[in-house]
Amino acid sequence: MPVSPGSKLGPYELLSLLGAGGMGEVYRARDSRLGRDVAIKVLPAERMADESRRRRFVQEARAASALNHPNIVTIHEIESADGIDFMVMEYVPGQTLAALIPKHGMRLEEALRAAIPIADALAAAHSRGIVHRDLKPANVAVTQDGLVKVLDFGLAKLVGEMNEGAETLTATEESGPLSRPGAIAGTARYMSPEQATGRKVDARSDVFSFGAVLYEMVTGRRAFGGSSLAETLASVAREQPKAPSELAVEVPKELERLILRCLQKDPERRFQHMVDVRVELQEIKEEGGPPSRLTSGPGDDYLPSWSRDGRFIYYASDRAGGRAEVWRIPAAGGSEERVTHGGGSLAYESADGKTLFFMRESFARTSLLALRLAGGPERKVLECVPPLGFAVGPGGVYHFACEASPAGTPLYVLDPATGRDRLLATVEKTDGGLAVSPDGKTFFYPKGGGEGSDLMMIENFR
């Protein structure tokens, strides 16, 4: 029976092909009994007669189903239908790490957010006597919520069973392994030297592969490569990659040392246990490190602010012809997007995340404008002669009056829907800066005048 999207395997309808390799094809499928999406891994029909592949398929299921960890894909069951053996797994929506690593490498915080769960997952597998043997960016999925899942224990083998038989797998460049007696196992660019030379492997082989993946995460470059499979294997076995600092990549020295120790050719000189790698990564995360570059365009970038959902950073930049405009970029790094086209600087999203409020300065006047992020023309909210600051909170747009009176400077909240101001308080002379708490009840502003200014707070507003 040929298998393709639209086919049915028992109660499962195959919806789309997610990926394919030497160990099988993976489909997104719908479980008609439970009404949920799952991932199904099935051996290609033309290879079902290969008993060694069938054995290894069952072995994969046995190894992976023994693991119960939040960062390892869950195996639901193993079934057969119409003569086809298949594995039903948790469906992980999102992208693989291979698709998420930018060409210049990931920011430190982003890399650690992914690396620590991967290390934790491998440590858990090793504690059960299971070695992955094919760790690579394509075998790590990251959901939209940032959850990391290690996939495809297709090359995993119980340590006690290692090297007991002649049946092994063929190394490939990218697409995955193919069974063949007397060959070697893994994906060439990420395998350990002992894998590359056909020697006995243990959990320290995963430590090396993890180092190769982490190297690529922080540098954007592969640790090993070559124009052919033979050259790649030779590079893995003999060459040492350049340290990230030699590539002008700013990472903490402790992280650089960790990566290079993982990539030691001699297993005795690597970390001996994955749990030690995880602990050191956690310490590096807690200690922090040098700032990571987020934007890299021409001109000056300044006045950053978060989007309400935390996915984007808004900022002002004068890269567009020397005039300040509002831009935004994903907080995790990626392509920059210009938001305003008539000038803009300080910008904040509305409480519901649907509207962007921003300042525009021209000659001696400063305007506050609103722009619907879903599309539409901008509109003017208010205009002042001096450039006074503003803040956005749950009640609307908070701002000071354009001109102070002898009694002080009035603080208003403006309802964007009606365009009406409501007086909240009158404060001392201020230079215009303003911040509001998330509940809209506390305000901070600089008290101006004299030889300097102090930060003031007013609270308990409703």
Q: What type of residue is 82?
A: D
Closest to 278 (Cα-Cα) out of 74, 105, 121, 152: 121
The continuous run of DSSP H or E covering 368 comes out as strand 365-372
Going across the sheet that includes 396-400, the strands are: 390-393, 396-400, 409-415, 420-427
C-alpha dist (Å) from residue 104 to 107, 141, 219, 221, 334: 9, 20, 6, 8, 10
Q: Which residues of 380-398 are buried (b: 16+ CB within 10 A; e: fewer)?
A: ebbebeeebbbbbbebbbb
- Using a CB cutoff of 8 Å and minimum separation of 24, what contacts does 322-325 make? 324/361
Going across the sheet that includes 8-9, the strands are: 8-9, 12-21, 24-31, 36-42, 84-90, 75-81
Candidate list 85, 134, 206, 301, residue with the active-site label: 134
Going across the sheet that includes 435-436, the strands are: 435-436, 443-447, 454-458
CA angle 282, 288, 293 (to 5 degrees): 120
Q: What type of residue is 173?
A: E
Partners of residue 17 on adjacent β-strands: 27
DSSP state of 345: -
Does the CA dihedral 103-107-111-114 come out positive or negative?
negative
CA angle 256, 258, 259 (to 5 degrees): 65
Determine contact, residues 446/453, Cβ cutoff 8 Å: yes
The two tokens of residue 117 are: 């769960």
3-state secondary structure of 446: strand
Active site residue 134: yes
- Residue 422: Cβ within 10 Å count: 10
Tell which phi-psi region holds residue 166, choosing left (phi > 0), alpha (psi between -120 and 50) or beta.
alpha
Determine contact, residues 64/131, Cβ cutoff 8 Å: no
Residues with catalytic function:
134
